[in-house]
Structure 1
Amino acid sequence: MTLRLRPATAADIPAIAGIYREAVLNGAASFETDPPSETEMARRRADLLAVGFPYLVAERAGVVSGYAYAGPYRQRAAYRSTVEDSVYVAADARGLGIGRALLEGLLAACEAIDCRLMVAVITDPGSEPSVALHAALGFTTVGTLSGVGHKHGRWLDTVLMQRRLGAGRASPPTRG
Protein backbone atom coordinates (compact mmCIF):
# COMPACT_ATOMS: atom_id res chain seq x y z
CA MET A 1 0.00 0.00 0.00
CA THR A 2 1.39 3.38 -1.00
CA LEU A 3 0.24 6.02 1.43
CA ARG A 4 0.66 9.71 0.79
CA LEU A 5 0.14 12.36 3.47
CA ARG A 6 -0.48 15.91 2.32
CA PRO A 7 -2.26 19.09 3.37
CA ALA A 8 -6.01 18.87 2.76
CA THR A 9 -7.40 21.00 -0.05
CA ALA A 10 -10.87 22.28 -0.80
CA ALA A 11 -11.20 19.47 -3.35
CA ASP A 12 -10.91 16.93 -0.52
CA ILE A 13 -13.99 18.18 1.33
CA PRO A 14 -16.47 15.70 -0.22
CA ALA A 15 -14.28 12.76 0.84
CA ILE A 16 -13.63 14.26 4.28
CA ALA A 17 -17.34 14.91 4.79
CA GLY A 18 -18.13 11.32 3.74
CA ILE A 19 -15.62 9.84 6.19
CA TYR A 20 -16.93 12.03 8.98
CA ARG A 21 -20.57 11.32 8.09
CA GLU A 22 -19.98 7.59 8.55
CA ALA A 23 -18.23 8.22 11.88
CA VAL A 24 -21.04 10.43 13.16
CA LEU A 25 -23.83 8.07 12.10
CA ASN A 26 -22.24 4.74 13.04
CA GLY A 27 -19.66 5.41 15.71
CA ALA A 28 -19.04 7.24 18.94
CA ALA A 29 -15.71 8.91 18.15
CA SER A 30 -17.61 12.14 17.54
CA PHE A 31 -20.29 13.37 19.89
CA GLU A 32 -22.10 15.05 17.00
CA THR A 33 -25.35 13.30 16.17
CA ASP A 34 -26.13 14.96 12.83
CA PRO A 35 -23.43 14.92 10.16
CA PRO A 36 -22.45 18.42 9.04
CA SER A 37 -22.81 19.42 5.40
CA GLU A 38 -19.88 19.72 3.04
CA THR A 39 -20.26 23.50 3.31
CA GLU A 40 -19.89 23.30 7.09
CA MET A 41 -16.91 20.94 6.83
CA ALA A 42 -15.26 23.38 4.39
CA ARG A 43 -15.87 26.25 6.82
CA ARG A 44 -14.35 24.31 9.71
CA ARG A 45 -11.26 23.48 7.66
CA ALA A 46 -10.88 27.08 6.50
CA ASP A 47 -11.21 28.38 10.06
CA LEU A 48 -8.38 26.14 11.29
CA LEU A 49 -6.11 26.95 8.35
CA ALA A 50 -6.74 30.68 8.78
CA VAL A 51 -5.10 30.58 12.22
CA GLY A 52 -2.24 28.33 11.16
CA PHE A 53 -3.30 24.87 12.31
CA PRO A 54 -2.50 21.76 10.24
CA TYR A 55 -5.18 19.81 8.38
CA LEU A 56 -3.95 16.65 6.63
CA VAL A 57 -5.32 13.90 4.42
CA ALA A 58 -3.98 10.43 3.71
CA GLU A 59 -4.33 9.14 0.17
CA ARG A 60 -4.19 5.48 -0.75
CA ALA A 61 -4.10 4.81 -4.50
CA GLY A 62 -5.26 8.39 -5.08
CA VAL A 63 -8.29 8.07 -2.78
CA VAL A 64 -8.62 10.04 0.45
CA SER A 65 -8.73 7.32 3.11
CA GLY A 66 -8.44 9.47 6.22
CA TYR A 67 -7.86 12.93 7.57
CA ALA A 68 -6.54 14.60 10.68
CA TYR A 69 -6.32 18.09 12.06
CA ALA A 70 -5.29 19.95 15.16
CA GLY A 71 -7.19 22.83 16.64
CA PRO A 72 -7.23 24.84 19.80
CA TYR A 73 -7.79 22.84 22.96
CA ARG A 74 -9.60 25.83 24.44
CA GLN A 75 -10.15 29.37 23.18
CA ARG A 76 -8.52 31.34 26.02
CA ALA A 77 -5.14 32.93 25.19
CA ALA A 78 -3.16 31.00 27.79
CA TYR A 79 -4.04 27.75 25.98
CA ARG A 80 -2.48 28.99 22.71
CA SER A 81 0.25 26.31 22.69
CA THR A 82 -2.05 23.41 23.53
CA VAL A 83 -3.88 21.66 20.71
CA GLU A 84 -6.46 18.90 20.46
CA ASP A 85 -6.13 16.31 17.73
CA SER A 86 -8.80 14.71 15.58
CA VAL A 87 -8.10 11.69 13.38
CA TYR A 88 -10.69 9.92 11.22
CA VAL A 89 -10.11 6.95 8.89
CA ALA A 90 -12.55 5.63 6.28
CA ALA A 91 -14.35 2.49 7.46
CA ASP A 92 -12.85 0.36 4.68
CA ALA A 93 -9.31 1.54 5.47
CA ARG A 94 -9.14 0.98 9.22
CA GLY A 95 -6.40 -1.25 10.58
CA LEU A 96 -3.99 -0.41 7.74
CA GLY A 97 -1.78 2.07 9.61
CA ILE A 98 -3.44 5.16 8.17
CA GLY A 99 -4.43 6.55 11.56
CA ARG A 100 -0.87 6.15 12.81
CA ALA A 101 0.58 7.88 9.76
CA LEU A 102 -1.88 10.75 10.13
CA LEU A 103 -1.21 11.20 13.84
CA GLU A 104 2.57 11.07 13.30
CA GLY A 105 2.22 13.73 10.59
CA LEU A 106 0.03 15.84 12.83
CA LEU A 107 2.50 15.62 15.72
CA ALA A 108 5.33 16.81 13.46
CA ALA A 109 3.23 19.61 11.98
CA CYS A 110 2.23 20.86 15.43
CA GLU A 111 5.82 20.81 16.67
CA ALA A 112 6.80 22.84 13.59
CA ILE A 113 4.42 25.63 14.67
CA ASP A 114 5.71 25.53 18.27
CA CYS A 115 2.76 23.85 19.89
CA ARG A 116 3.82 22.40 23.25
CA LEU A 117 1.11 19.93 24.23
CA MET A 118 -1.38 17.79 22.32
CA VAL A 119 -4.54 16.59 24.01
CA ALA A 120 -6.65 13.68 22.82
CA VAL A 121 -10.27 13.40 23.97
CA ILE A 122 -11.26 9.82 23.15
CA THR A 123 -14.64 8.15 23.57
CA ASP A 124 -14.81 5.13 25.84
CA PRO A 125 -16.04 2.52 25.35
CA GLY A 126 -15.84 2.18 21.59
CA SER A 127 -12.53 3.77 20.67
CA GLU A 128 -10.03 1.34 22.14
CA PRO A 129 -7.94 1.34 18.93
CA SER A 130 -7.60 5.12 19.24
CA VAL A 131 -6.43 4.84 22.85
CA ALA A 132 -3.88 2.20 21.80
CA LEU A 133 -2.67 4.34 18.88
CA HIS A 134 -2.19 7.40 21.05
CA ALA A 135 -0.40 5.38 23.74
CA ALA A 136 1.91 3.87 21.11
CA LEU A 137 2.88 7.40 20.05
CA GLY A 138 3.74 8.57 23.54
CA PHE A 139 0.45 9.89 24.90
CA THR A 140 -0.34 9.21 28.54
CA THR A 141 -3.78 8.90 30.07
CA VAL A 142 -4.45 11.76 32.47
CA GLY A 143 -8.08 11.15 33.33
CA THR A 144 -11.57 10.04 32.44
CA LEU A 145 -14.76 12.06 32.30
CA SER A 146 -17.60 9.67 33.12
CA GLY A 147 -20.96 9.79 31.39
CA VAL A 148 -20.33 13.08 29.57
CA GLY A 149 -22.13 12.08 26.38
CA HIS A 150 -25.20 10.11 25.36
CA LYS A 151 -25.28 8.68 21.86
CA HIS A 152 -26.72 5.56 20.22
CA GLY A 153 -28.78 4.87 23.36
CA ARG A 154 -25.89 4.71 25.80
CA TRP A 155 -23.83 6.90 28.08
CA LEU A 156 -20.26 7.50 26.99
CA ASP A 157 -17.11 8.47 28.85
CA THR A 158 -14.12 10.30 27.44
CA VAL A 159 -10.54 9.35 28.16
CA LEU A 160 -8.18 12.31 28.27
CA MET A 161 -4.65 11.70 27.00
CA GLN A 162 -1.80 14.12 26.45
CA ARG A 163 1.64 14.26 24.88
CA ARG A 164 4.39 16.84 25.16
CA LEU A 165 5.44 18.46 21.89
CA GLY A 166 8.85 19.93 21.17
CA ALA A 167 10.29 21.83 24.13
CA GLY A 168 7.13 21.27 26.16
CA ARG A 169 7.26 23.30 29.37
CA ALA A 170 11.02 23.96 29.18
CA SER A 171 10.55 27.48 27.77
CA PRO A 172 7.77 29.96 27.04
CA PRO A 173 5.83 29.46 23.81
CA THR A 174 6.43 31.55 20.72
CA ARG A 175 3.04 30.74 19.20
CA GLY A 176 0.44 33.49 19.31
Structure 2
Amino acid sequence: MPSIHLRCASPADAAPICAIYHPYVANTAITFEEEAVTTPDMAQRIADVHGAGLPWLVLEVDGKLAGYAYATRWRVRPAYRHSVESTIYLDAAFTGRGLGRVLYGALLDELGKRGLHMVIGGIALPNDSSVGLHEALGFRKAAHFTEVGLKFGRWIDVGYWERKL
Protein backbone atom coordinates (compact mmCIF):
# COMPACT_ATOMS: atom_id res chain seq x y z
CA MET A 1 0.00 0.00 0.00
CA PRO A 2 1.34 3.44 -0.87
CA SER A 3 1.78 6.06 1.82
CA ILE A 4 -0.74 8.88 1.27
CA HIS A 5 -0.38 12.24 2.99
CA LEU A 6 -2.61 15.34 2.69
CA ARG A 7 -1.37 18.74 3.79
CA CYS A 8 -1.71 22.45 3.15
CA ALA A 9 0.28 23.71 0.20
CA SER A 10 3.00 26.29 0.65
CA PRO A 11 4.73 28.51 -1.90
CA ALA A 12 7.61 26.00 -1.74
CA ASP A 13 5.29 23.54 -3.54
CA ALA A 14 5.00 25.81 -6.57
CA ALA A 15 7.53 24.00 -8.78
CA PRO A 16 6.01 20.50 -8.42
CA ILE A 17 2.53 22.00 -8.81
CA CYS A 18 3.66 23.64 -12.05
CA ALA A 19 5.03 20.28 -13.20
CA ILE A 20 1.59 18.72 -12.67
CA TYR A 21 -0.29 21.63 -14.23
CA HIS A 22 1.87 22.30 -17.30
CA PRO A 23 0.80 19.20 -19.32
CA TYR A 24 -2.83 20.20 -18.83
CA VAL A 25 -2.05 23.71 -20.12
CA ALA A 26 0.07 22.53 -23.06
CA ASN A 27 -1.91 19.52 -24.20
CA THR A 28 -5.55 19.79 -23.12
CA ALA A 29 -8.54 22.08 -23.08
CA ILE A 30 -9.22 21.15 -19.45
CA THR A 31 -7.78 24.53 -18.49
CA PHE A 32 -8.23 27.62 -20.61
CA GLU A 33 -4.75 28.90 -19.75
CA GLU A 34 -2.61 28.94 -22.86
CA GLU A 35 0.85 29.69 -21.43
CA ALA A 36 2.78 27.76 -18.80
CA VAL A 37 2.58 29.28 -15.34
CA THR A 38 5.95 30.19 -13.86
CA THR A 39 7.03 28.94 -10.47
CA PRO A 40 6.97 32.47 -8.94
CA ASP A 41 3.46 33.07 -10.34
CA MET A 42 2.24 29.76 -8.91
CA ALA A 43 3.80 30.58 -5.54
CA GLN A 44 1.88 33.86 -5.59
CA ARG A 45 -1.37 32.05 -6.46
CA ILE A 46 -0.90 29.73 -3.49
CA ALA A 47 -0.22 32.69 -1.20
CA ASP A 48 -3.26 34.54 -2.57
CA VAL A 49 -5.58 31.58 -1.90
CA HIS A 50 -4.32 31.26 1.67
CA GLY A 51 -4.48 35.06 2.05
CA ALA A 52 -8.18 34.91 1.16
CA GLY A 53 -8.70 32.46 4.02
CA LEU A 54 -9.25 29.51 1.69
CA PRO A 55 -7.56 26.10 1.49
CA TRP A 56 -5.02 24.87 -1.03
CA LEU A 57 -4.24 21.21 -0.36
CA VAL A 58 -1.63 18.87 -1.80
CA LEU A 59 -1.67 15.10 -1.89
CA GLU A 60 1.60 13.22 -1.56
CA VAL A 61 2.00 9.55 -2.46
CA ASP A 62 5.16 7.93 -1.13
CA GLY A 63 6.63 11.42 -0.68
CA LYS A 64 5.89 12.62 -4.24
CA LEU A 65 3.43 15.43 -4.85
CA ALA A 66 0.67 13.64 -6.81
CA GLY A 67 -2.05 16.30 -6.95
CA TYR A 68 -3.50 19.47 -5.58
CA ALA A 69 -6.90 21.04 -4.94
CA TYR A 70 -7.95 24.50 -3.88
CA ALA A 71 -10.84 26.93 -3.73
CA THR A 72 -11.19 30.54 -4.81
CA ARG A 73 -13.97 33.03 -4.28
CA TRP A 74 -16.81 32.52 -6.75
CA ARG A 75 -17.38 36.26 -7.25
CA VAL A 76 -16.11 39.46 -5.68
CA ARG A 77 -19.43 40.97 -4.52
CA PRO A 78 -19.98 40.54 -0.76
CA ALA A 79 -23.19 38.52 -1.08
CA TYR A 80 -21.20 35.75 -2.81
CA ARG A 81 -18.78 35.35 0.11
CA HIS A 82 -20.19 31.93 1.11
CA SER A 83 -19.65 30.40 -2.34
CA VAL A 84 -16.37 29.19 -3.83
CA GLU A 85 -15.09 27.64 -7.03
CA SER A 86 -13.06 24.46 -6.63
CA THR A 87 -10.12 23.21 -8.67
CA ILE A 88 -8.35 19.86 -8.67
CA TYR A 89 -5.47 18.44 -10.71
CA LEU A 90 -3.67 15.12 -10.45
CA ASP A 91 -0.36 14.12 -11.95
CA ALA A 92 -1.28 11.88 -14.90
CA ALA A 93 0.77 9.05 -13.34
CA PHE A 94 -1.63 9.00 -10.37
CA THR A 95 -5.02 9.10 -12.09
CA GLY A 96 -7.47 6.20 -11.98
CA ARG A 97 -6.58 5.14 -8.42
CA GLY A 98 -9.29 6.93 -6.43
CA LEU A 99 -6.85 9.61 -5.30
CA GLY A 100 -8.99 12.37 -6.80
CA ARG A 101 -11.85 11.40 -4.49
CA VAL A 102 -9.52 11.42 -1.49
CA LEU A 103 -8.07 14.83 -2.34
CA TYR A 104 -11.35 16.46 -3.39
CA GLY A 105 -13.14 14.96 -0.39
CA ALA A 106 -10.54 16.52 1.91
CA LEU A 107 -11.01 19.89 0.21
CA LEU A 108 -14.80 19.68 0.63
CA ASP A 109 -14.38 18.77 4.31
CA GLU A 110 -12.09 21.74 4.83
CA LEU A 111 -14.51 24.10 3.09
CA GLY A 112 -17.34 22.86 5.31
CA LYS A 113 -15.25 23.49 8.43
CA ARG A 114 -14.78 27.07 7.25
CA GLY A 115 -18.51 27.64 7.13
CA LEU A 116 -18.83 27.93 3.37
CA HIS A 117 -22.20 27.11 1.80
CA MET A 118 -21.78 26.33 -1.91
CA VAL A 119 -18.97 24.84 -3.99
CA ILE A 120 -18.99 25.29 -7.77
CA GLY A 121 -16.88 23.22 -10.13
CA GLY A 122 -16.38 24.37 -13.71
CA ILE A 123 -15.61 21.65 -16.25
CA ALA A 124 -14.49 22.10 -19.85
CA LEU A 125 -16.58 19.65 -21.83
CA PRO A 126 -16.45 16.88 -22.75
CA ASN A 127 -14.61 15.48 -19.72
CA ASP A 128 -16.26 12.28 -18.50
CA SER A 129 -13.72 11.64 -15.73
CA SER A 130 -14.18 15.07 -14.15
CA VAL A 131 -17.97 14.87 -14.46
CA GLY A 132 -17.85 11.42 -12.84
CA LEU A 133 -15.67 12.65 -9.99
CA HIS A 134 -17.91 15.61 -9.25
CA GLU A 135 -21.10 13.56 -9.37
CA ALA A 136 -19.58 10.80 -7.19
CA LEU A 137 -18.90 13.51 -4.59
CA GLY A 138 -22.48 14.79 -4.62
CA PHE A 139 -22.28 17.63 -7.14
CA ARG A 140 -25.13 18.15 -9.58
CA LYS A 141 -25.05 19.91 -12.94
CA ALA A 142 -26.35 23.47 -12.67
CA ALA A 143 -25.38 25.13 -15.98
CA HIS A 144 -24.00 24.52 -19.44
CA PHE A 145 -22.48 27.27 -21.57
CA THR A 146 -21.74 26.56 -25.22
CA GLU A 147 -18.61 27.66 -27.05
CA VAL A 148 -17.33 30.01 -24.34
CA GLY A 149 -13.65 29.10 -24.72
CA LEU A 150 -11.40 28.86 -27.75
CA LYS A 151 -8.27 26.72 -27.43
CA PHE A 152 -6.31 24.76 -30.02
CA GLY A 153 -8.52 26.29 -32.72
CA ARG A 154 -11.77 24.83 -31.45
CA TRP A 155 -14.69 26.15 -29.42
CA ILE A 156 -15.20 24.52 -26.04
CA ASP A 157 -18.28 24.25 -23.85
CA VAL A 158 -18.14 24.64 -20.06
CA GLY A 159 -20.49 23.07 -17.57
CA TYR A 160 -20.88 24.04 -13.94
CA TRP A 161 -21.61 21.57 -11.16
CA GLU A 162 -22.63 22.67 -7.67
CA ARG A 163 -22.68 21.12 -4.23
CA LYS A 164 -24.10 22.51 -1.01
CA LEU A 165 -21.92 21.88 1.99
**Amino acid of the residue matched to residue 11 of structure 2?**
A
Give the CA deviation at 1:2. Answer: 2.4
Q: What are the superposed Cα offsets for residues 69-123 of structure 1, whole Å, 9 maximum, x if unpaired?
A: 0110111111100000000000111111121111101100100111000000001
Aligned residue runs from structure 1 range 23-172, under 5 A: 23-125=24-126, 127-165=127-165
Inter-partner Cα distance in structure 2 for 1:97 and 1:25: 25
Inter-partner Cα distance in structure 2 for 1:29 and 1:59: 22
Identity of aligned residues (%): 39
**Amino acid of the residue matched to residue 131 of structure 1?**
V
Inter-partner Cα distance in structure 2 for 1:25 and 1:128: 20
TM-score (norm 1): 0.90
For structure 2, the residue ranges without an aligned partner over 5 or more in a row are none
Q: What are the superposed Cα offsets for residues 11-66 of structure 1, whole Å, 9 maximum, x if unpaired?
A: 21110011111111111221000011010001111011012100000001100000
Q: What are the superposed Cα offsets for residues 108-147 of structure 1, whole Å, 9 maximum, x if unpaired?
A: 010011100000000102x210110000010000110000
Does the aligned pair in 1 maintain the 2:12–2:43 contact within 8 Å?
Answer: no
Q: Does 1:21 align with 2:16?
A: no
Inter-partner Cα distance in structure 1 for 2:23 and 2:150: 18
CA RMSD of aligned residues (A): 0.9
For structure 1, the residue ranges without an aligned partner over 5 or more in a row are 166-176
Deviating runs (4+, > 4 A) in structure 1? none
**Amino acid of the residue matched to residue 59 of structure 2?**
A
Inter-partner Cα distance in structure 2 for 1:44 and 1:85: 14
SS at match of 1:159: strand
**Amino acid of the residue matched to residue 59 of structure 1?**
E
